[in-house]
Amino acid sequence: MKRSKPKQQNLAFGKGQHGGTRPGAGRKPKHGKAGVTHNARALLASRFPAHITLKLQQGLPRLRNRNEYAALRRAFAAGCDRLGFRLTHYAVLNDHLHLLVEARDRDALSRGLQGLGIRIAKALNKLWQRRGRVFADRYHDHILRTPREVRNALRYVLTNGKKHAAEGREVKVAAAIDTYTSAPWFDGFRETFVVRGLEGVTRPVADAKTWLLTIGWRRIGLLSVHDQAGLPQGRSAS
């Protein structure tokens, strides 16, 4: 019996297969809500600072309380200058943190933030008498490459509490500066003021070393205690 030769079949790549991009494919976000993207992060040069945002898990106590803030300051002080990583400015909001940091490179940034996050989590869990994760997702970062970007980031971080207060978001800022930020240790305000009791508090931030965070942003103009994030430069909240 003469056998017929097998015929080669032409298959459309990806059609009816499991490979390739498909709508809805991939790991589903926790709690049904997408967090920080897991795409590869941009490279970080040592001359560029970065603005970091860390969000807490839902349902945890607020951070803008006396005991919570004291625990955070101790963690900041212990981890603000380690292995090529420096925490130079911060803002504490009820459910998230804003940080301005410097790092030797991307690896130093990741290691520094990981170490700082562990210190914060341990301190808060001890205070709250609980176990488990404290932060909701990976950190969000924005690399600051120009003096104006750095100035805008400083203004945003140091006055973000005022913005939240103006929006009625259960945040109060009773003084000219927000004492739940690194503003008491910041020397870039036009106005002169004294923060009482500061001599008894361990400094929770490291000195900046990059040109952008020490000199560059100042060439555009110092900040004012009347500034508020979200308002045009030079305008104060009415």
The answer to whether residue 16 scores a pLDDT higher than 70 is no
Domain locations along the chain: 43-219
pLDDT digits (tens, 9 = 90+) for 122-146: 999 999 999 999 998 888 999 999 9
Q: How far apart are CA 87 and CA 121, in angstroms?
A: 17
| Residue 26, pLDDT score | 44
**Which tokens hold the place of 69?**
């803030």
Alpha-carbon Rg for the chain, nearest whole angstrom, is 23
Architecture of domain 43-219: 2-Layer Sandwich (3.30)
| Residue 178, pLDDT score | 92
Q: How far apart are CA 127 and CA 94, in angstroms?
A: 16
pLDDT digits (tens, 9 = 90+) for 182-234: 999 999 999 988 888 888 899 999 999 999 999 999 999 999 998 887 655 54
Question: In the block, which residue shows the tokens 């900046």?
Answer: 208
- For the question of whether the overall pTM of this predicted structure is more than 0.75, the answer is yes
The answer to whether residue 4 scores a pLDDT higher than 60 is no
| Residue 122, pLDDT score | 97
